[in-house]
Structure 1
Amino acid sequence: MATHYPRHILLQPIHSRVAVRKDKPQGLNGWRLAGFASLAVPIYAAQMPLAVYLPAIYAQHFGLSLATIGAIFLAERVWGAVADPLIGTFSDRTRSRFGRRRPWIVAGGIVFGLAATALFFPMLGVTPLYLAASLFAMYLGWSMLQIPYLAWSGEISGRYHERTRIVTYQTVAGSAALLLVLVLPTIIDQVRPQDGALKLAAMGSVVLVSLIVALPIALSAFPKASAPDQPVVRLSTPRAVALVFNDKLLLRVLASDLAVTTGQGIRSALIVFFVTFYMGLPQWASGLFLLQFVFGIAAGPIWAQIGYRIGKHRAAFTGEVIQVAINLGLLLVVPGNLPLLLALTIAQGFAQGSGNLMLRSMVADVADRHRLETGHDRTALFFSAFSLSIKAGMAIAVGVALPLVAWLGFDPKTANSPEALHGLLLVFALGPALAHAVSAALVYGFPLDQASHEKVRQTLAARDSALAPAE
């Protein structure tokens, strides 16, 4: 049953005499933020191998077909569409002496670690069933870990730009993880380029070691949650889904992020094939991705500063337009033309993350507005939808891009015709360009900016104060 608040409290106005303060991007202790952000390392460290290397290695080294791998990824997303909102809803209404988020993060970390062991260190014969079971368990643990973690990051501070700062720390930590994960295959390519099992084991080691180290550090970074205690509301899965799809601003953020992740996922899923077969430079396959993320680490703070100055949605729009231009530029790349590909890769590094960083911060702002309108905090539910858009974008990229290039005649196990390689180029370039254009269109003119969010926060503070029991 919903909780009803007096109308004068729920809709308490913000008078014109209340000025919007300048929300400076500082406040929380930097060391604590770094410790909290460390949990992004294993989360991000697993993301890139799943999107980039795992499909290629399981196809080339273990003999699974591209169509089978794509079907497994898509099937997992159907499972995730049910599991993620449930995890978000249960996390929002969890009450324990350790808080709402910590029990889920601990349990998720255990499932995540066990599944990662099976996926990166195959101990049995690799079959479609083995891949499906390991992948499903991996994503379940990932959701149990990531969704409460993202929701908690939105509750540490309610300030508009401080949330961008929190996400920036997480993005930089995640980019550093990606850098480390990409260094290892690059080194292995120079020594044993055909050893897919060794690459999997190296990347899996990074995931597991960083998880063991980061989990206790992140859990102890902020002992007390800043979010106010909210009434527990029992939601069925259909009702939870309806809440997500009835919020138009949240839908815009989710759809924009889905497009961002799909574009990035297409590029990630095909870059090994593109560099190896179209460019004819297999020794550069891992190195180019490494180069991209070296520049991506520096890009996080740069985009944060841009967001402080022009606002989150404008920064996201700008970054997505730049991404469109970069991906269209790939159409000019011809086999062996490494300098142009290097330049576009560096530009991609600087541009990447702008959308992900800003959109993740915007979800917490939308959740604040939802709490103002309904009286209920459903931050984790909203982030579960955001997490779903991330993983759905990755799965759509693999589930569509790989079968599409296969339909166009590309096969990594045989010699390819010029037509098949040209088809690979078109999907690699135009797929991300179209996705980033859609993302830019969706985020353009987003109405919940700093000024309007400040009014939401002030009204929430006034209402919470009015509802607080007298001492």
Structure 2
Amino acid sequence: MKTTSPLAYASYGLLGLPLAMAALPVYVQIPAYYSGQLGLALGLTGWVLFLARMVDTFQDPLLGRWIDRINGNITAWFWSGAAILALAFFGLWLPPVSSGDTMYLALWLAAMLIAAYTAHSMLNIAYLTWGARIDAGSGSHDQGLLGAAAWREGAGLFGVILASVIPSWIMSRPAATLSGDLASYSIGFALILVLAVFVLLKFAPAWQRNKNTETTPSWQATWTLMKAHQGFRQLLPPYFLNAISVAIPSTLALFFINDRLQAPSYAGAFLASYFIAAAIGLPLWVMAAKKIGVLCAWRWGMVLAIIAFCSAATLGAGDIIAYLIVCIAAGLALGADLALPPVLLAQLIRKDSSPASYFGVWTLLGKLALALSGLALPALAALDYQPGTPAGPALAWVYAGVPCAFKLVAFLLLTRIKTTQAGVSS
């Protein structure tokens, strides 16, 4: 059997770029944009983020179930998700309401967030399921999983670099050019998304359909199977806690840079260094996973992240170089968080199961973590923090100290999971 070519893996991985471009603004830049640029109150912004994410969270298992039922007939699915995501991305950056209409602005943000989250989930769950079903040809199944993950997350990291640098540059330009620049950025995103979906459907390794069953198992049967899967149950709690540890600093990064470090002009450079370091670290974590096992490599990534963010909690105004080092170290650790957990899940899924249903539950927990991270904003508002003013140590500890605690608990839970060289035991 012929081995899957790198070009086929690259064709699969390209969609990771626009999906990451859409995820970064929603998680990192939109809260600061609406509260800092458009004048939406910090607490209200946080509650809108939380409620919109909660609405989105519980639809993921249903979307996963739907994808399993269509069993590979996904062309219309991908094009529909891409169209909705492109329109929502445009709407998030260019709300058709004035900054003084607080309630209308909040309602518009909620509507666009729900649309963006739904479309992103449609694409991402199907995309991860496709990757879980990639066959390496004459290579092992695990080689196929790692190859797909490496290209997907590598393209995704390039996407987040673009999404961290371009909006930061746009925000630094004269206010008169803001709308035109954001419109151009949104149109550019839409073109990249269309290209990536076309390449995926045309040139990526074919979606491996479920040939072992003529019909998709009922939702009750699938849910019973997932609950009985010991390895799956063991993996979910540390994944969820780790997702919270990543989501909180993602939500607060720009606030920390602007008001704790008081270095807004360095925001683009900090974010770019973080994601460039992740891009450099990604192949290193993949190589480590091949040598010592996926789960063991992920644990070492957690250790590095804990060290980096514990250091960040001690930083204050003017600590530019120290925070740059933190960004590089945390970025290197991010590569493990991006590439390895989906591979662990894919290793657990039998080919005759319903993989999209598993990924639906998986992404539900990721979305729930993001929803909970939105509560950090009203919590900081209750601690008298206001965007645009010098921040005290409370922001530093919520941004870095709290995530360290979550990640440490996740690490301890992972140490209780038995592993083999191939992956996770079930």
TM-score, length of structure 2 as denominator length: 0.89
Asked if 1:379 is matched to 2:355, the reply is yes
Offset at 1:351? 1.4
Offset at 1:200? 4.9
Find the partner of 2:129 among 115, 128, 151.
Answer: 151
Offset at 1:173? 0.2
- 1:121 maps to 94
What residue identity is the alignment partner of 2:378? P
- 1:233 maps to 216
What is the CA–CA distance in structure 2 between the aligned matches of 1:273 and 1:218, rounded to whole Å? 36
Offset at 1:255? 2.7
- 2:120 maps to 142
Q: Within 5 Å, which residues of 2 pair with 1:209-220?
A: 209-220=191-202
Q: Which moved more, 1:68-77 or 1:439-448?
A: 439-448
Asked if 1:321 is matched to 2:306, the reply is no
Kept in 2, the 8 Å contact 1:164–1:304? The answer is yes
Q: Within 5 Å, which residues of 2 pair with 1:172-191?
A: 172-191=154-173
Asked if 1:407 is matched to 2:374, the reply is no
Kept in 2, the 8 Å contact 1:276–1:285? The answer is yes
What is the CA–CA distance in structure 2 between the aligned matches of 1:193 and 1:307, rounded to whole Å? 47
Secondary structure at 1:334 match in 2: coil
- 1:19 maps to none
Secondary structure at 1:332 match in 2: coil
Secondary structure at 2:58 match in 1: helix
Offset at 1:206? 4.4
- In structure 2, relative to structure 1, the CA distance for the partners of 1:311 and 1:203 (3 Å cut) is farther
Kept in 1, the 8 Å contact 2:312–2:400? The answer is yes
- 2:51 maps to 75
- 1:88 maps to 64
Q: Which moved more, 1:118-127 or 1:358-367?
A: 118-127
Q: Which moved more, 1:102-111 or 1:353-362?
A: 102-111
Secondary structure at 1:28 match in 2: coil
- In structure 2, relative to structure 1, the CA distance for the partners of 1:451 and 1:297 (3 Å cut) is closer
Find the partner of 1:171 among 153, 157, 161.
Answer: 153
Asked if 1:36 is matched to 2:18, the reply is no
Q: Within 5 Å, which residues of 2 pair with 1:47-446?
A: 47-95=23-71, 99-125=72-98, 127-157=105-135, 159-192=141-174, 200-201=182-183, 203-222=185-204, 224-231=206-213, 232-233=215-216, 235-236=218-219, 243-368=225-350, 376-397=352-373, 399-413=374-388, 415-416=389-390, 421-446=392-417
Q: How many residues align?
A: 415
Offset at 1:171? 0.6
- In structure 2, relative to structure 1, the CA distance for the partners of 1:161 and 1:194 (3 Å cut) is farther
- In structure 2, relative to structure 1, the CA distance for the partners of 1:104 and 1:447 (3 Å cut) is farther
Q: Among the aligned pairs, what percent are the same residue?
A: 24
Kept in 1, the 8 Å contact 2:84–2:115? The answer is yes
Secondary structure at 1:353 match in 2: helix
Kept in 2, the 8 Å contact 1:121–1:201? The answer is yes
What is the CA–CA distance in structure 2 between the aligned matches of 1:102 and 1:450, rounded to whole Å? 36
- In structure 2, relative to structure 1, the CA distance for the partners of 1:183 and 1:91 (3 Å cut) is same
Q: Which moved more, 1:158-167 or 1:207-216?
A: 158-167
Offset at 1:352? 1.1
What residue identity is the alignment partner of 2:316? V
Q: Which moved more, 1:403-412 or 1:331-340?
A: 331-340
Kept in 2, the 8 Å contact 1:52–1:272? The answer is yes
Kept in 2, the 8 Å contact 1:181–1:203? The answer is no
Offset at 1:101? 3.5
- 1:469 maps to none
- In structure 2, relative to structure 1, the CA distance for the partners of 1:241 and 1:451 (3 Å cut) is closer
What is the CA–CA distance in structure 2 between the aligned matches of 1:235 and 1:66, rounded to whole Å? 43
Offset at 1:116? 1.8
Kept in 2, the 8 Å contact 1:160–1:450? The answer is no
Secondary structure at 1:216 match in 2: helix
Structure 1: segments with no counterpart, 5+ residues:
1-25, 457-471
Offset at 1:68? 1.9
Offset at 1:162? 2.6
Kept in 2, the 8 Å contact 1:57–1:196? The answer is no
TM-score, length of structure 1 as denominator length: 0.81
Kept in 1, the 8 Å contact 2:57–2:365? The answer is no
What is the CA–CA distance in structure 1 between the aligned matches of 2:73 and 2:154, rounded to whole Å? 26
What is the CA–CA distance in structure 2 between the aligned matches of 1:111 and 1:149, rounded to whole Å? 16
1:98-154 deviation digits (Å, cap 9, x = unpaired): x34433222212222222222223234552111111111111111111111110110
What is the CA–CA distance in structure 1 between the aligned matches of 2:326 and 2:173, rounded to whole Å? 27
What is the CA–CA distance in structure 2 between the aligned matches of 1:239 and 1:193, rounded to whole Å? 56
- In structure 2, relative to structure 1, the CA distance for the partners of 1:205 and 1:450 (3 Å cut) is farther
Offset at 1:445? 4.5
Kept in 1, the 8 Å contact 2:160–2:275? The answer is yes
